[in-house]
Amino acid sequence: MGGLFSDVTDTIFLDKEVLEEEYQPDEILEREEEVEEYKSAFKDVLFGRNPSNVMLYGKAGVGKTAVTRYVLDELQTETDQREAADDLYVHRHNCNGDTMFSAVRTLVNGLLPKGSASFPKKGLSTADALEEFYSQLDRLGGTHLVVLDEIDHLQDANELLYELPRARANDHIEAARIGVIGISNNYTFRQRLSAKVQDALKEEEISFSTYDANELRAILHDRAEKALSDDSYSNSAIAKAAAVAGRDTGSARQAIDLLRKGAEIAEGNDEPMVEDDHIGLAREAVKRGRLQDKIEDQSLHARLVLEAVAQLDHVGETPARSKEIMQMYRRVAAKRAEEPLTTLKSIQNHLSDLYMLGFLLRREENEGRKGGSYHEYDLDMDPDVVFEVCDELDEEDAV
Q: pLDDT at residue 1 above 60? A: no
* Closest-CA residue to 320 (of 330, 329, 304, 309): 309
pLDDT of residue 185: 85
Pair 371, 320: CB distance under 8 Å: no
What residues form the annotated binding site?
A: 62-66, 211, 223
Residue 31 φ/ψ, nearest 5 degrees: -135, 35
State percent of the chain over pLDDT 70: 97
* Closest-CA residue to 296 (of 156, 379, 392, 380): 392
In order of start, what are the domains of the chain with their CATH numbers? 31-207 (3.40.50.300), 211-295 (1.10.8.60), 298-398 (1.10.10.10)
Q: pLDDT at residue 111 above 90? A: yes
What is the average pLDDT across 247-267? 94
Amino acid identity of 366? N
Note the pLDDT tens digit of each residue in 169-226.
Answer: 999 999 999 999 999 988 888 888 889 998 888 889 999 999 999 999 999 999 999 9
Q: For residue 395, name the pLDDT band (cuts at 50, 70, 90).
A: confident
What residues form the annotated binding site for ATP?
A: 62-66, 211, 223
What's the mean pLDDT when you consider all of the chain? Answer: 91
Residue by residue, what is the 3-state secondary structure of the chain? CCCCCCCCCCCCECCHHHHCCCCCCCCCCCCHHHHHHHHHHCHHHHHCCCCCCEEEECCCCCCHHHHHHHHHHHHHHHHHHCCCCCCEEEEEEECCCCCHHHHHHHHHHHHCCCCCCCCCCCCCCHHHHHHHHHHHHHHHCEEEEEEEECHHHCCCHHHHHHHHHHCCCCCCCCCEEEEEEEEECCCCCHHHCCHHHHHHHCCEEEECCCCCHHHHHHHHHHHHHHHECCCCECHHHHHHHHHHHHHHCCCHHHHHHHHHHHHHHHHHCCCCCECHHHHHHHHHHHHHHHHHHHHHCCCHHHHHHHHHHHHHHHCCCCCEEHHHHHHHHHHHHHHCCCCCCCCHHHHHHHHHHHHHCCCEEEEEEECHHHHCEEEEEEECCCHHHHHHHHHHHHHHHHC
Q: pLDDT at residue 38 above 90? A: yes
Q: Does the global pTM surpass 0.85?
A: no
Q: pLDDT at residue 368 above 70? A: no
Q: pLDDT at residue 241 above 90? A: yes
